[in-house]
Homo-oligomer: A and B are copies of this chain.
Amino acid sequence: MKIVVLKFGGTSVGTISRISNVANIIAKFRKKKYKVIVLSSAMSGVTNDLISKSKKISKVFSDSEYDVLVSSGEQISCSLIAGKLIDKGFKSRSWMAWQIPILTEGKHKFSRIVDIYKKEILKYLNSGGIPIIAGFQGINQQSRITTIGRGGTDASAIMFAKFFNAEKCIIFTDVKGVYTTDPNKLKSARKIKVISYEEMLEMASLGAKVMQPHSIQDARLNRKDIEVRSSFINKPGTLITKRKNIINNKIITGVTSTQNDAKVTLVGVKDRPGIAASIFRPLSENSINVDMVVQNISANGKETDLTFTIKLDDLNKTKKIINENKNINFKKFLFDKNVSKVSIIGVGMITTPGVTFRMFQSLAKQKINIQVISTSEIKISVLINKKNIKKAIFALHKEFKLDK
């Protein structure tokens, strides 16, 4: 009998009737003769409510107590799911991280799962039981409760799929799968049947919110297929898998956009070797992530303009750091909050020439000005004015025939 890992997100277990629905889904898999391991998030709203309580207690609420506090949410959802399954006549029970245990390393709030003790869970699976396991949490060597910031319960599910060598890991959520672009922005967006880890990683990093990049990376490293599907509608979702499993006729798999970037330009920077490093080092030391970078060719060989993008939230901090750092000489600090990064993603572009040209031409036809460009092997991103997002997505989605 093969093992399947089912993960349910906060909205999927958000109400009592949704928990009953989740119990039905689990029951279906169990009846198909799978050994079923379930990972659940907290009921939607619960974690946010707990976080807001902690903020009211203290602006600098202890990280270790934060983990104790927020991990209580999964204790609630897991006991309710197990209770429902028992009510339906199944053998089931909840497991908190300490009962397994799920061992983590690293700082509180940002721990990583490093080991899962399999013995008790395997025994329970072999006895026909359905373990309902609290996602998003673990314990550290000191037996303190930890939470895993990156990827949350998705990451927990993928680690269980890895440690138990599961055949499948299914992420149940409130969307039907991964789309060629945000269906809220473009009606002709289509559900993607199958996508490679690498493309999904770029999609998630570049604005698609279905899964967090870190858990996709975990799945890729552990070669675990993931299906993302809705817990509300019984339809196949999107399979995330190895590149070689995909027979893909499309050059481009998806189009994404961001809305939380800011563009910064330092005008009149002294053009000498190491100048970029002297600017970006203090930013990096303050955990500010610099994304796209472009340095204009200096006309006189002495001065240059340096443009880069950061998260909008980091703008004030960036301004302060640059203004206070006396090693950086420049004439003007300019910024623009009205920017969006629009990207096309697809492994097909590696073997298909002319993709960049087609992208730029489509945008030019719409009179959309490209401010900054950055590329990787499987994606091309351009920075444009925010007001043009919808137009750009529409043009690119059509150009690469994603609506067909």
Contacts and interface: CB of A to CB of B under 8 A. Distances in A.
Contacts of A75: 68-69, 71-72, 75
Contacts of A79: 54, 65-66, 68-69, 72
A69 B76 contact: yes
Given A53-B16, A58-B87, A80-B53, A93 B69 contact: no
A86 interface: yes
16 contacts: A16-B56, A19-B57, A54-B80, A58-B83, A58-B86, A60-B87, A62-B82, A64-B93, A65-B86, A68-B75, A69-B75, A69-B79, A72-B79, A75-B75, A98-B99, A99-B144
State the copy count for this chain.
2
Interface residues of A, number: 38
Quick one: which of A62, A68, A72, A143 has the most chain B CB within 10 A?
A: A68
The 8 closest A-B pairs by CB, nearest first: A58-B87, A68-B79, A69-B79, A72-B75, A65-B83, A72-B72, A65-B79, A16-B56
Nearest to A64: B93
A117 interface: no
A230 interface: no
A78 B83 contact: no
Nearest to A43: B53
Nearest to A75: B72
A312 interface: no
A19 B56 CA distance: 11
A94 interface: yes
